[in-house]
Amino acid sequence: MTATGRMDFRGGVHPPERKSLSADAAIEVLPTPPEVRIPLVQHIGAPCESLVKPKTPVAMGEMIGKAGGFVSAPVHASIDGTCGMADVTTLPNARHVAVIPITAGPQTLSGQGLWDAIFGGEWPTRHLEDHAPQQIVEAIQAAGIVGQGGAAFPTHVKLVRNETKPIDTLLVNGCECEPYLTADHRMMIQLPGPIISGALLAAQAADAKQIIIAIEDNKPVAIDNLRRAVRGTKIQVVVLPTHYPMGGEKMTIRAALGRVVPTGGLPLDVGVVVINVGTAAAIARAVLRGKPLTHRVVTVTGSGVARPRNLLAPIGVSYKTLIEHCGGLTDQAARVLSGGPMMGLAIGNLDTPVTKGTSGITVLTSQEARKAEELQCIRCGRCVDVCPVGLVPTKIALACRFKDWDLARRYHLDACIECGCCAYICPSGIPLVQLMRMGKAEIPRKKK
């Protein structure tokens, strides 16, 4: 249709992909766990308000937490059962949040039945314009959908029509550039139907004329599959080079459309809205069937896991349950990550629950994990070469370390997207991205 971008971006790194561990493992339905613990905050935005009391029986899909504002998303029971006493847990991002435990009761849906209920049946690609934009946004909001790529921003906020900044393009992000993770990959292979329906509905809501599904070229099966599936629709499948951090939305937009999102701005500023493939599938389910987001696909992988696989798991199930379903940790397991190795967060407690933003669990062995040994900076400039934003990470990190906020600002700390390329490439093992992240967190406090 229309001309697209230059198909790549400057900088970036090529970490070993290691996707073969789980790339061929079809998504498996996790047997209903005895307990799930559903956090009341699973997104960026205001926390939810609990709607249940201890010993309340709940059914799968029932709302148990009401959204705490417009930039918020409700949470729903992911299994049938009985609520327990509200508790507190620490999410991988170190945020302490309230959780509502649900003890499993006699389950009405599990296994193939659950799969069919969530993804089965026909997913229409025609006559979706019958759904009014407002109606779509409301359905998404009621279903509690947040971005499933990791940042977990409430999706309805992105799709609301904005008179001053019209959207012309919906970009469905299937890049999945993090090493190891294959959840999006498997969804694109096994579930093109809901992804396409969801993309069309999202475009309808946002009034986007152009719909692009962007996939990295290391997923040829997914590309072929989606190309076949989009025939007869206005959706284009665009193949981008495998290049970390291609999946970061600013990079995807740059590569696929040649548009540059301004620093401090949003894709909205260049007329684009980006959703993840898993989010698209959830949108289809919410709008066409009125079902809330209760389950998501999670990759459990890494050399530290006995049998890496992709699982359809209820929100709130513990990492421990998932890992045990995959044969448990091996003797070499040293680091358990929420997410992939480039941007994932290491966790110290396997009771952590899966949230709507959990794309995978990666277990690294001590040989694979980056060593913590830090040497002097030799000012080689490799971090400058790989920074996809065009920053001088070593200077900014140094400024953050010594709390020289003026210097950090002069070197544009605010533009950092925290992709971690600089720390990945650093020959001296300096935790550059960590220092910048800390700096970004501290700068506003120092301003006032």
Q: Which of residues 345-364 bind another protein (CB under 8 A)?
A: 345-351, 362, 364
Residue nearer to another protein on the CB measure, 204 or 303 = 303
Residue nearer to another protein on the CB measure, 291 or 395 = 395
Which residues ranging from 376 to 415 are in contact with another protein (CB under 8 A)? 376-382, 384-385, 388-392, 394-395, 410-412, 414-415
Which residues ranging from 225 to 254 are in contact with another protein (CB under 8 A)? 250, 254
By CB under 8 A, residue 342 contacts another protein: yes
Question: In this chain, which of 64, 337, 354, 408 binds another protein, going by CB under 8 A?
Answer: 337
Tokens of 82: 């009985």
Site string for another protein, 62-81 (x = CB under 8 A): --------------------
Site string for another protein, 254-283 (x = CB under 8 A): x-----xxxxxx------------------
Give min distance, CB of 85 to another protein, in A: 8
Tokens of 185: 């990959």
Q: How far apart are CA 448 and CA 443, in angstroms?
A: 9
| Tokens 């509905």 belong to residue | 201
Q: Which stretch binds another protein (CB under 8 A): 32-40, 185-193, 194-202, 292-300?
A: 32-40
Residue nearer to another protein on the CB measure, 239 or 334 = 334
Q: What is the chain's alpha carbon radius of gyration, rounded to the nearest angstrom?
A: 21
Give min distance, CB of 265 to another protein, in A: 7
Give min distance, CB of 229 to another protein, in A: 33
Give min distance, CB of 342 to another protein, in A: 5
Which residues ranging from 151 to 190 are in contact with another protein (CB under 8 A)? 179
Q: Which stretch binds another protein (CB under 8 A): 33-41, 52-60, 115-123, 150-158?
A: 33-41
Identify the CA nearest to 273 among candidates 288, 294, 252. 252
Which residues ranging from 12 to 31 are in contact with another protein (CB under 8 A)? 13, 15-16
Give min distance, CB of 336 to another protein, in A: 5
Residue nearer to another protein on the CB measure, 74 or 439 = 439
Give min distance, CB of 416 to another protein, in A: 8
By CB under 8 A, residue 221 contacts another protein: no
Q: How far apart are CA 14 and CA 8, in angstroms?
A: 13
Q: Which stretch binds another protein (CB under 8 A): 34-42, 73-81, 149-157, 184-192?
A: 34-42
Q: Which residues contact 374 (CB under 8 A, 6 or more apart)?
A: 428, 429, 430, 431
Q: Is 388 exposed, middle or buried (CB count within 10 Å of its CB: 0-12, 13-18, 19+)?
A: buried
Which residues ranging from 89 to 118 are in contact with another protein (CB under 8 A)? 101, 103
Q: How far apart are CA 279 and CA 154, in angstroms?
A: 10
| Tokens 């991002």 belong to residue | 93
By CB under 8 A, residue 328 contacts another protein: yes
**Would you tell me the crossing angle of helices 183-190 and 220-229 to the nearest 10 degrees?**
40
Residue nearer to another protein on the CB measure, 59 or 375 = 375
Tokens of 144: 């509690």
